[in-house]
Structure 1
């Protein structure tokens, strides 16, 4: 009996330590989370985004604006995988309505370690900043677009892609001072993290939680581990080309110049071949 009581006490102690660690981790992460953008010149810069001023300067730059104009000047290609170069003209914005690229927001995603089950189910190990996203303040000729920035090795940010639509920025903007929004990119699922409770924000996320309205972060880890643990970079699934690989988009890369092209399909995007945000067509759906 004494041995049984001692084992139970040890197990209870471990669970208590993990629970305390999870709560402290959530408090630390969520204390700097929320709508990660500066809304006025006097507002403090977001604490959870490194080199935020550089990112802000970039999305407001003439180069990014010209790139967005080139993207919007080309009709969305019809047909899967169609690629066409963007026009190179002296003033790419000529003839287009005026627009503003809004301040960058944090695009967070689950980490490979969390998916593999090697990271603890606590916010600081489950979620990481992957990209920054900036939508337009209004549609241009009935079309919206999202600017995506990727981290540059050594610090700072560079333009990674321009995509049709504004859903990424819309979901990222739903973070509050007490919550964190993140994505499960393989299924385009968006979730909100409240301390250690995961709640779905779209239909894909609800399907990802098997229809439940919320789960614990630990239970969510079990779900994504079952879905993707055998599909991480280096796995047979990845090496045989059956997926685009998990987590590659989060790696920092040096900025490089390249010819922008418009990639067709349902998620048309301007892809910068030398950037960190690579767009690759998958051979099977779901991952």
Structure 2
């Protein structure tokens, strides 16, 4: 009788190898598809100009194209950037009847996704997966051109119940520049505590600026799992609810509130770390400064 045991074993090994091979392909395709879903705003197909990964994107477009936001940007650009650190005085941006009159013509570009690491990822409780590690926190838009030698970034925040509203206008356009470096199949996100910007390719994290390179210990890339270990070591004991947070800090930031007697429509301007910050709406301005001990 012919011995079929070796043949049967070979067939079973071949089937197992085929299943492993197919699983590898499925995982790779799934990861690529996942990143496409949570990818950049402008990566949507040409036939669908509104990115599906950004909710209420039409409202975001309406916001950045509105006269109120444009007037706010003009008022911001007319006000000199404060010098000094984040603990310096807060100044009120003056009202003007025609804030854009006399300024060079400019437009505000379509907003891009501003992604950040999630608290669960930083705490080490979330899985090192793109959908668990990164979340959309806001939108950023830059200007089409410099205005009197300056540029600005418009930040939108989600409105409760749907839509978007103006959250801040910042000097410079680096945030929008980094956000715009996302491509199909990749995701750009920030670790705001160190002002680091990264690009996620499948499950590989690569730095986009010097702060990010320092955050990775000088490495050209790390796995998402290893990156989680780094941020957990930096922030796990400093998240909201921790003793660090209860003493006035949160996620590596020193939170300082400058109380004012201004009306809710007043715009305030604050200096700090080379960045001006103008907040719209509310009688307080929140200054965020890195705590040196977290570096």
TM-score > 0.5, shorter chain as reference: yes
Looking at structure 2, the residues matched to 275 and 135 of structure 1 have their Cα atoms a distance apart, in angstroms, of 26
The match for 1:95 is 102
TM-score by length of 1: 0.83
Looking at structure 2, the residues matched to 134 and 259 of structure 1 have their Cα atoms a distance apart, in angstroms, of 22
RMSD over equivalenced CA pairs, Å? 3.0
Looking at structure 2, the residues matched to 151 and 20 of structure 1 have their Cα atoms a distance apart, in angstroms, of 37
TM-score by length of 2: 0.81
* Alignment CA distance shift 1:237-1:79 (3 Å): same
Would you tell me which structure has more strand in proportion to its own residues? 2
* Alignment CA distance shift 1:70-1:115 (3 Å): same
Residues 44-68 of structure 1: per-residue CA shift (max 9 Å, x gap): 2011100000000100000000000
Check the 8 A contact 1:115/1:229 in 2, yes or no.
yes
The match for 2:235 is 228
Residues 56-102 of structure 1: per-residue CA shift (max 9 Å, x gap): 01000000000000000001012223311111111001111111000
Moved more, 119-128 or 256-265: 256-265
What is the SS of the residue equivalent to 1:279? strand
Counterpart check, 1:164 vs 2:171: yes
Looking at structure 2, the residues matched to 171 and 193 of structure 1 have their Cα atoms a distance apart, in angstroms, of 12
Counterpart check, 1:183 vs 2:203: no
Check the 8 A contact 1:146/1:168 in 2, yes or no.
yes
Check the 8 A contact 2:44/2:50 in 1, yes or no.
no
Counterpart check, 1:65 vs 2:70: yes
Looking at structure 1, the residues matched to 77 and 287 of structure 2 have their Cα atoms a distance apart, in angstroms, of 19
Kindly name which structure, 1 or 2, has the bigger radius of gyration based on alpha carbons: 2
The match for 2:280 is 272
Q: Which of 208, 212, 223 is the matching residue for 1:205? A: 212
* Alignment CA distance shift 1:146-1:277 (3 Å): farther
The match for 1:13 is none
The match for 1:110 is 117
Counterpart check, 1:32 vs 2:37: yes
What is the SS of the residue equivalent to 1:72? helix
Check the 8 A contact 1:160/1:277 in 2, yes or no.
no
Counterpart check, 1:119 vs 2:153: no
Q: CA deviation at 1:271?
A: 1.7
Check the 8 A contact 2:252/2:291 in 1, yes or no.
no
Looking at structure 1, the residues matched to 146 and 83 of structure 2 have their Cα atoms a distance apart, in angstroms, of 20
Counterpart check, 1:217 vs 2:224: yes
What is the SS of the residue equivalent to 1:103? coil
Aligned residues: 263
Check the 8 A contact 2:63/2:165 in 1, yes or no.
yes
Q: CA deviation at 1:275?
A: 9.9
Looking at structure 1, the residues matched to 241 and 199 of structure 2 have their Cα atoms a distance apart, in angstroms, of 30
